[in-house]
């Protein structure tokens, strides 16, 4: 809403009917400066801009106390800095005895072309400083904390030794934030890590264990990793991971009835003893004998143990090992078969 | 935990390792143990201001009263904030902190309506919030309304009444105020054994009541013991003894706390020292019979009583036997124990020079300190007196510098400085220390100590500063004089209107004394002259007539506005710096040496115009210096004026003065005439012997 | 925008014209914009004055594009690190703190307030002129520390440095 200004027209009496009452303040000139006889005297309730006598007077700044010179002038060169700056604080120019400058001066107009000193320098106050962590500080801190440390055991002198004595690694993370709250949900995660060689397995148990573990098992490094983060608290996750491990281990030793129903498609490696290849070999060996039906298969295998072993090994290798040594394995297989047939090429 | 399922059978390739292996156990540490360890790395540094102050040249207080002012203003700001928090509490309930910090919330305000119901829960709440008188009112209401209150509640309330003498306990002060609490709390200053127990107060009423209703032995024990302890705590010994007799008659066993309080206040029960000691032994035997194990407080109380037996010959021996008992009981003596022992062995200022108990105590303490992991704990209230007493006795009785320094070094190690709990004790501690050092020690040792402590840890009082100046003057530490001026400024002695004249006089005397003895370098002369000018600037020479002029002119008063009038009145109320002739002469000496003729002449003129009001006349040295300066600068008339003044004052040096002027070649005939007239007029014989041309 | 007063008193009404530009369009590739007061201005970047006597502190001279080069940030906290927590609340707390200090310390701060967060503490820094007595300054320090701690529920510490007067911080005249 716009305001309307109305010019006020005062009718001042020319005689003394109105008495100006003197107030406690100094008598202000309620009439303008040019009030001579006959001239219209304008009412000025507040002193007008034109009326000012001289430039505005600045109130003198009160000096409260004699300010001492900065403290660094009094510091001796052999003082103990760890006592002067014990904790992390903002940069104080009166305490640091170094002539530090910070700032970019683009031309001679800025700061008179001089480098910007530490006095009245806000930039130096903003950045974090490490005056509280000089080498002397760290020495002292380490010496003080050492009392809570135990010595590194001598037995731990190599990686294998560590693995031997410390078979399992349990990893938890702690997070610090510059917030009022110390909670962080990422801290609930617990990771269990160990090599399967540390546990006692027989073949079935190991195989079952690995199948149960699934992607948690790393075949290259033979490591099992259990990451527990289901529960909200770390302790709960820790207990859960423990439970999981024990369950896995003992489950892997159990043999369910339905595991007998394993077919050739489920074999994790080539079981020659159950394969048709064995039957065929037996047939071949039996064929050498005079009386095929009356020969015990086991004794037959025992007699030709070497050959059987070689054949078994080579065919298992062909079946098990992948593409890497395929050529070599096939060659070996060929030689073994030939030897079986007593043929030499 | 997994060891049982983990098997070592796997690695056959590696070398055989011993299967039995014990891990080093994790050292148990408290949650803040590491922080405390890091804290012990830090020693107090004399250059840093106290933690409550900002580390900035404008905001560091240097003098004693400044420190107090600023600390209390900070506390006042905190209180203002607290008031706002409590007044507008609805704005302060949003909590983002986990875990929550209770002190950042508005303090629990009491709604009268909440606590009207006479109920046990109300009573517990009130007791938790330290509103004991209100709790008692509610209790009365409960009795009127026949509400059942369990005996635990009743006895808890009674205990609180006894502990706090039927009043509400004082609120804890913020640390800034707490440091000055001795000044704030005037009742603590004197009268350690004034009886403050409220007769027929709430505690007594409740006692009577409960006495009737107490049935079981335990209740009776608790009741009587609390009452007796309360009586003894607030120094009402006679009634306490009657209660104790009652207890003995009714075969109510006395508690450890009661025994402790009893032992502490024996000195108000028995008069003669022998009787007191007998009483102590009786008490101890009683305790032994009732198989009550004494604790640290017991022994400290006994030692306190022994201390109150001043000038008792058996005192030291008995004290040592108490110590032995303590060791046998397996209680480690605390700082308070040692404090009492010190006071027993050195009962007043003269006795005790021969015993070497104080060094032995220091040895013991250092051993204890080492064994406790470089930490001392507050174990007893009396611990606060140790350093004060030790320094007091070391300086006054033993007068041993090394011992005093040892005590001081001990104070400075680690966080022992918190065992001087308030400002007053600290002042006295350092005053004693420096008094001794100034009297006995050498500057190379004392000045570094002085620098390390002043001004941040200790702001000296005027007596100590005067001792310092004496010390400096005896040892002639020239380099320090100029620094001393800035130190005096910094410590607030120059602005302090009551004492500044004394200090300035002394200081100027100091400066002038050395001038005659050695040749000062030009720099030093200049600096001294600067100091003189600064003094003149701060305390300008106001001639007497002007002062009178301000007072008497009525007409002018109306012209001056009211504000100016008020300012003038205020100025008049403050003591104006009174110049004396001696001061003026010292200043003249300093300025004249620096060849500042105008300033010194103006001082001289001031003296001449105000001769009637100034106390001492100008001394010879100043006049001679002024004379020689005026001759150097060829102000012959003025030189003659000076000689006339010397004549008036009848100084012996008139002859030298005449001689000096005589030798000057540039004298005109008139001047020489004047000289001759002066010589004739003078009453000194020596003056007449001078040959004038 | 011109607004008219409906009630026409005495015919002496003035029509007040408001010259504040409120167009939201600040940039255009297609039209040459003429809202001069908006188009040519850049945040926190003053233009040269005719007399070249407009005082600037070092911080004000380093225009916002130089943050990170010759000027650094005024607040330090972990909210912008990877998976940092509580970004929005931190910023709003910062704004509140700046306004609070501006209003409580009347014309005393001569630099921007510097806010550092360490663990759960907030540390406020800045340059303050010596216009008030140290007693008053300590009152303000005690008051701000206490009340801000109670509001933000974190320990707040103040570490200020004093400066003789405003002229000490003037870096250049723009």
β-strands C75-76, C114-118: how paired? Answer: parallel
**Could you tell me if B387 and B13 are in contact, meaning their C-beta atoms sit under 8 angstroms apart?**
no
Residue A228 falls within a domain, yes or no? yes
Q: Which of A24-38, A130-144, A212-226 has the lowest mean pLDDT?
A: A24-38
| Out of C9, C72, C84, closest to residue A127 by CB | C72
Whole-angstrom distance, CA of residue B552 vs CA of residue B478: 48
Query: What's the pLDDT band for A247 if we cut at 50, 70, 90?
Result: very high
Residue A65's alpha-carbon distances to A141, A152, B56, C131, C164, in angstroms, are 39, 59, 13, 11, 12
Q: A50, exposed or middle or buried, with CB in 10 Å at 0-12, 13-18, 19+?
A: exposed
- Banded pLDDT at A4 (limits 50, 70, 90): very low
Other C-beta atoms within 10 Å of B467: how many? 18
Say if residue C162's pLDDT is above 90: yes
A105 — pLDDT class (breaks 50, 70, 90): very high
> Domains in chain C, please, with CATH?
55-173 (3.30.300.20)
pLDDT value of residue B159: 83
Q: If you average pLDDT over every residue of chain A, what do you get?
A: 82
Query: What is d(CA B6, CA A196) in angstroms, rounded to the nearest whole number?
Result: 10
Judged by DSSP in three states, B365 sits in helix
Pick the closest to residue B480 from B469, B489, B491, B490 (CA basis). B469
Nearest residue on chain A to C2, alpha-carbon basis: A2
- Quick check: is A327 in a domain? yes
- Across B60-74, B256-270, B274-288, C151-165, which has the greatest mean pLDDT? C151-165
Residue at a domain's end among A149, A169, A196: A149
Instruction: Report the range out of B228-237, B463-472, C93-102 with the highest average pLDDT.
Output: C93-102
Strand partners, A170: A192
Q: Which of A149, A181, A201 is the last residue of a domain?
A: A149
Is A39 within a domain?
no
Q: How far is CA A250 from the centre of its chain?
A: 35
Report the 10 Å Cβ neighbour count for C163: 23
SS3 C117: strand
- Closest-CA residue to B587 (of B567, B601, B572): B601
Q: What is the mean pLDDT of residues A31-51?
A: 70
Q: To which H or E segment does residue B629 belong?
A: helix B620-632
Give mean pLDDT, residues A216-236.
Answer: 93
A248 with A202, same domain?
yes
**β C121-129/A168-172 pair status:** unpaired
Residues in C closer than 8 angstroms to B69, CB to CB, are 135
pLDDT of residue C137: 95
- B185 or B666, which is more confident: B666
Q: Is the pLDDT of residue A1 over 60?
A: no
Q: Is the pLDDT of residue B108 over 70?
A: yes
Residue C79 has pLDDT above 70, yes or no: yes
pLDDT band at A17 (very low <50, low <70, confident <90, very high): very low
Minimum-distance CB partner of B101 among C135, C140, C153 = C153
Tens digit of each residue's pLDDT (9 = 90 or more) over A306-344: 778 888 888 888 888 878 878 888 888 888 888 877 765
Dihedral angle, C-alpha A298, A300, A306, A310, nearest 10 °: -70
Burial label for B235, CB within 10 Å (0-12, 13-18, 19+), is middle
Q: Which residue has the tokens 């400085």?
A: B417
> Does residue A265 belong to the interface with chain B, where contact is any CB pair within 8 Å?
no
User: Which pLDDT score is estimated for B566?
Assistant: 58
Nearest by CB to B97, from C135, C154, C162: name it. Answer: C154
Residue A192 pLDDT > 90: yes
The torsion angle over the Cα atoms of residues B459, B464, B467 and B471, rounded to 10 degrees, is -30
* pLDDT, position C143: 96
**Cα–Cα distance measured from residue B176 to residue C146, given in angstroms and rounded to the nearest whole number:** 14
Q: What is the pLDDT of residue C28?
A: 87
In a domain, A31, yes or no: no
What are chain C's partners, defined as 3 or more CB pairs within 8 angstroms? A, B
Do the beta carbons of residue B393 and residue B18 sit within 8 Å? no
Residue A88 lies in a domain: yes
How far is it, in rounded angstroms, from Cα B625 to Cα B82?
64
C93: which chain A residues are within 8 Å (Cβ-Cβ)? Answer: none
Angstrom CA distances, B283 to B242, B288, B305, B627, stand at 16, 9, 13, 83
Q: In this complex, is the C-beta atom of C123 within 8 Å of any C-beta atom belonging to chain B?
A: no
Any domain includes A16:
no
Min Cα–Cα distance to chain C from A62, Å:
8
Q: Report residue C108 as tokens.
A: 């005393």
Distance CA B672, CA B666 (A): 10
Q: What is the pLDDT of residues A131-147, one digit of tens each?
A: 999 999 999 999 999 98
Is there a single domain that holds both residue A112 and residue A168? no
Residue B91 DSSP label: G
Selected for mutation to probe chain B from A88, A134, A185, A198 (highest B CB count within 10 Å) is A198
Number of domains in chain A: 3
Task: State the nearest Cα–Cα gap between B372 and chain A, in angstroms.
Answer: 13
With residues binned 3-state (H G I as helix, E B as strand, rest as coil), the percentages for chain B, rounded to 5, are: 65, 0, 35
DSSP string, B197-210: --TT-HHHHHHHHH
Output the pLDDT for position C110.
93
Pairs across B and C, CB distance < 8 A: 84
B contact chains, 3+ CB pairs < 8 A = A, C
Which of B651, B507, B536, B546 has the alpha carbon at shortest distance from B600?
B536
Nearest CA in chain C to A109: C172
**pLDDT tier, B567 (very low <50, low <70, confident <90, very high otherwise):** low
Q: What is the b/e burial string over B41-56, where b = at least 16 CB atoms within 10 angstroms of the residue's CB?
A: bbebbbbbbbebbbbb
Which uninterrupted H or E stretch holds C148?
Answer: helix C134-152
Residue in chain B nearest A93 by alpha carbon: B56
Which residue out of B32, B47, B94 would a mutagenesis test of the A interface target, given it has the greatest number of A Cβ atoms within 10 Å?
B47
Per-position DSSP letters for B205-265, written without gaps between them = HHHHHHHHH--SHHHHHHHHHHHHHHHHHTT-HHHHHHHHHHHHHTTPPPPHHHHHHHHHT
CA dihedral sign, ordered B222, B224, B229, B234: positive
Q: Does the distance separating the beta carbons of B41 and A141 come in below 8 Å?
A: yes
Domain shared by A228 and A271, yes or no: no
Residue A29 lies in a domain: no
Task: Assign B692 a pLDDT band (cuts: 50, 70, 90).
Answer: low
Are A242 and A272 in a shared domain? no
Per-residue pLDDT at A226: 94
CB C46 within 8 A of CB C54: yes
- Is A294 in the same domain as A238? no
Q: Please give the average per-residue pLDDT across B556-581, as a whole number.
A: 57
Q: What pLDDT digit, counting tens, does each position of B298-339 carry?
A: 888 888 888 777 777 777 788 888 888 888 888 888 888 888
Whole-number Cα distances in Å, B27 to A149, A164, B1, B290, B373:
7, 24, 19, 40, 15
Residue A241 lies in a domain: yes
DSSP for residue B396: I
- CB distance A164–B8 less than 8 Å? yes
> Considering CB atoms only, which of C3, C5, C72 is closest to A126?
C72
Asked whether the ipTM of the predicted complex exceeds the cut of 0.90, the reply is no
Q: Measured between alpha carbons, how far is B589 from B531 in angstroms, rounded to an integer?
A: 12
A68 in B contact zone (CB under 8 Å): yes
Q: How far is the C-alpha of B521 from the C-alpha of B32, rounded, in Å? A: 58
Cα atoms found within 13 Å of the Cα of residue B61, Cβ hemisphere only: 25
Alpha carbon of residue C151 to chain centroid: 21
Beta-carbon separation of C150 and B106 below 8 A: yes
Predicted structure pTM score: 0.80
Mapped onto helix, strand or coil, the DSSP state of residue B394 is helix
Average pLDDT over residues A182-188: 91
CA distance A66 to B435: 29
The beta-carbon neighbor of A67 closest among B29, B37, B57 is B57
Domain that holds residue A280: 267-340
Q: What is the pLDDT of residue C90?
A: 94
Query: Is the Cα dihedral A16, A22, A23, A27 positive or negative?
Result: positive
Task: Give chain C's radius of gyration (CA, Å).
Answer: 22
Among A157-161, A181-185, A322-326, B217-221, which range has the highest average pLDDT? A181-185
Output the domain CATH number for residue A200.
3.30.160.20
Q: What is the pLDDT of residues B425-458, one digit of tens each?
A: 888 888 888 888 888 888 888 888 888 888 788 8
Confidence tier at A18 by pLDDT (50, 70, 90) = very low
Which residues, other chains included, contact A91 with Cβ-Cβ below 8 Å and sequence gap of 6+?
A118, A124, A125, A127, A129, A131
Higher-scoring residue by pLDDT: A6, A305: A305
């Amino acid at each position: 809403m716009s305001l309307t200004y109305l010019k006020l027209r005062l009718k001042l009496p020319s005689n003394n009917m109105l008495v100006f009452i003197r107030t406690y303040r100094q008598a202000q000139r309620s009439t303008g400066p040019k009030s001579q006889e006959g001239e219209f005297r304008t009412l000025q309730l507040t002193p007008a801009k034109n009326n000012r006598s001289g430039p505005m007077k600045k109130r003198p700044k009160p000096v409260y106390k004699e300010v001492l010179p900065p403290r660094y002038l009094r510091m001796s060169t052999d003082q103990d800095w760890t006592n002067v700056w014990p904790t992390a604080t903002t940069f104080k120019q009166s305490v640091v005895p170094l002539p530090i400058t910070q700032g970019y001066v683009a031309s001679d107009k800025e700061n008179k072309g001089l480098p910007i000193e530490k006095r009245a320098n806000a930039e130096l106050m903003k950045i974090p400083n490490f005056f509280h962590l000089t080498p002397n500080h760290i020495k002292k801190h380490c010496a003080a904390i050492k009392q809570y440390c135990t010595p590194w055991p001598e037995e731990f002198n190599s990686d294998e030794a560590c693995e031997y004595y410390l078979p399992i690694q349990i990893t938890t993370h702690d997070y610090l934030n510059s917030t009022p709250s110390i909670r962080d949900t990422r801290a609930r995660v617990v990771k269990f890590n160990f090599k399967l060689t540390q546990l006692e397995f027989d073949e079935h148990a190991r195989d079952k264990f690995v199948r149960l573990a699934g992607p948690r098992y790393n075949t290259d490094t033979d490591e099992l990793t259990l990451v527990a983060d289901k529960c909200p608290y770390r302790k709960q996750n820790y207990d859960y991971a423990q439970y999981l491990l024990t369950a896995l281990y003992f489950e892997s030793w159990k043999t369910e009835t339905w595991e007998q129903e394993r077919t050739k498609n489920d074999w994790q490696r080539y079981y020659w003893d159950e394969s048709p290849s064995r039957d065929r070999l037996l047939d071949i060996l039996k064929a050498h004998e005079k009386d095929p039906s009356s020969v015990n298969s086991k004794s037959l295998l025992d007699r030709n143990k070497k050959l059987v072993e070689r054949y078994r090994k080579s065919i298992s290798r062909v079946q098990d090992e992948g593409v890497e040594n395929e050529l070599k394995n096939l060659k070996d297989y060929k030689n073994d078969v030939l030897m079986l047939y007593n043929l030499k090429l | 935990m997994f060891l049982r399922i983990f098997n070592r059978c796997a690695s056959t390739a590696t070398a055989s390792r011993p299967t039995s292996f014990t891990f080093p156990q994790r050292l148990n540490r408290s949650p803040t143990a590491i922080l405390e360890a890091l804290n012990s790395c830090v020693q107090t540094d004399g250059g840093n201001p106290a933690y409550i102050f900002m580390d900035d040249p404008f905001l560091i207080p240097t003098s004693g009263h400044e420190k107090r002012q600023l600390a209390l203003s900070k506390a006042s700001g905190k209180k203002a904030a607290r008031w706002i928090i409590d007044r507008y509490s609805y704005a302060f309930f949003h909590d983002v902190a986990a875990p929550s910090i209770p002190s950042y919330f508005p303090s629990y305000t009491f709604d009268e309506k909440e606590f009207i119901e006479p109920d046990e829960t109300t009573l517990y709440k009130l007791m938790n919030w330290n509103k004991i008188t209100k709790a008692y009112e509610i209790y009365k209401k409960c009795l009127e309304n026949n509400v059942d209150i369990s005996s635990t509640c009743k006895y808890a309330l009674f205990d609180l009444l006894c502990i706090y003498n039927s009043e509400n306990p004082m609120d804890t002060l913020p640390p800034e105020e707490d440091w000055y609490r001795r000044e704030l709390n005037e009742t603590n200053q004197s009268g350690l054994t004034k009886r403050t127990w409220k007769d027929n107060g709430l505690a007594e009423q409740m006692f009577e009541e409960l006495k009737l209703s107490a049935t079981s032995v335990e209740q009776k024990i608790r009741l009587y013991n609390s009452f007796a302890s309360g009586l003894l705590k607030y120094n009402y010994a006679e009634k306490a003894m009657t209660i104790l007799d009652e207890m003995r008659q009714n075969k109510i066993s006395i508690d450890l706390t009661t025994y402790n309080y009893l032992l502490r206040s024996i000195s108000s029960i028995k008069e003669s020292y022998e009787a007191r000691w007998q009483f102590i032994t009786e008490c101890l035997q009683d305790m032994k019979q009732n198989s009550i194990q004494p604790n640290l407080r017991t022994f400290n109380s006994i030692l306190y009583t022994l201390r109150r037996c001043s000038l008792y010959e058996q005192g030291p021996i008995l004290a040592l036997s108490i110590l032995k008992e303590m060791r046998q009981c397996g209680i480690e003596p605390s700082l308070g124990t040692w404090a009492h022992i010190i006071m027993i062995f050195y009962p007043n200022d003269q006795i005790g020079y021969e015993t070497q108990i104080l060094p032995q105590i220091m040895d013991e303490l250092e051993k204890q300190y080492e064994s406790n992991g470089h930490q001392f704990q507050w174990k007893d209230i009396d611990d606060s007196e140790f350093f004060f007493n030790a320094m007091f006795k070391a300086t006054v009785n033993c007068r041993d510098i090394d011992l005093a320094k040892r005590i001081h070094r001990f104070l400075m190690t680690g966080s022992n400085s918190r065992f001087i709990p308030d400002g007053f004790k600290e002042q006295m501690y350092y005053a004693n220390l420096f008094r001794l050092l100034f009297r006995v020690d050498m500057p190379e040792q004392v000045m570094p100590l002085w620098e390390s402590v002043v001004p941040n840890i200790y702001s000296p009082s005027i007596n100590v500063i005067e001792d310092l100046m004496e010390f400096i003057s005896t040892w002639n530490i020239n380099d320090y004089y100029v620094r001393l001026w800035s130190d005096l400024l910094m410590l607030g002695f120059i602005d302090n209107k009551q004492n500044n004249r004394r200090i300035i006089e002394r200081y100027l005397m100091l400066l002038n004394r050395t001038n005659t003895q050695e040749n000062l370098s030009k720099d030093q002369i200049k600096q001294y002259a600067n100091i003189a000018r600064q003094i003149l600037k701060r305390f300008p020479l106001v001639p007497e007539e002007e002062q009178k002029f301000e007072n008497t002119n009525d007409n002018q008063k109306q012209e001056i506005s009211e504000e100016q009038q008020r300012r003038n009145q205020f100025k008049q109320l403050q003591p104006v710096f009174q110049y004396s002739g001696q001061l003026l002469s010292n200043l003249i000496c300093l300025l004249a040496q620096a060849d500042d003729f105008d300033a010194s002449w103006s001082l001289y003129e001031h003296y001449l115009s105000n001769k009637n009001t100034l106390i001492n006349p100008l001394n010879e040295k100043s006049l001679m210096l002024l004379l020689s300066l005026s001759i150097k600068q060829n102000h012959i008339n003025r030189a003659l004026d000076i000689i006339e003044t010397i004549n008036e004052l009848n100084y012996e040096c008139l002859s030298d003065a005449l001689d000096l002027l005589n030798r000057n070649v540039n004298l005109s005939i008139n001047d020489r005439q004047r000289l001759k007239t002066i010589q004739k007029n003078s009453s000194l014989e020596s003056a007449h012997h001078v040959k004038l041309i | 925008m011109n607004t008219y007063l409906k009630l026409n008193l005495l015919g002496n009404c003035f029509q007040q014209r408001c010259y504040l530009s409120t167009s939201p369009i600040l940039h255009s590739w297609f039209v040459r914009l003429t809202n001069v007061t908006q188009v040519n201005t850049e945040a926190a970047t003053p233009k040269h004055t005719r007399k070249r006597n407009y005082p600037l502190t070092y911080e004000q001279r380093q225009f916002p594009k130089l943050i990170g080069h010759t000027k650094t940030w005024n607040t330090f906290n972990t909210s912008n690190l990877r998976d940092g927590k509580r970004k929005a609340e931190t910023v709003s707390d910062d704004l509140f703190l700046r306004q609070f200090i501006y209003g409580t310390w009347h014309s005393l701060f001569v630099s921007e307030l510097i806010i550092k967060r360490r663990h759960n503490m907030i540390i406020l820094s800045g340059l303050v002129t010596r216009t008030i007595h140290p007693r008053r300054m300590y009152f303000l320090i005690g008051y701000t520390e206490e009340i801000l701690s109670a509001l933000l529920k974190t320990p707040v510490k103040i570490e200020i440095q004093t400066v003789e007067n405003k002229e000490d911080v003037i870096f250049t005249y723009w």
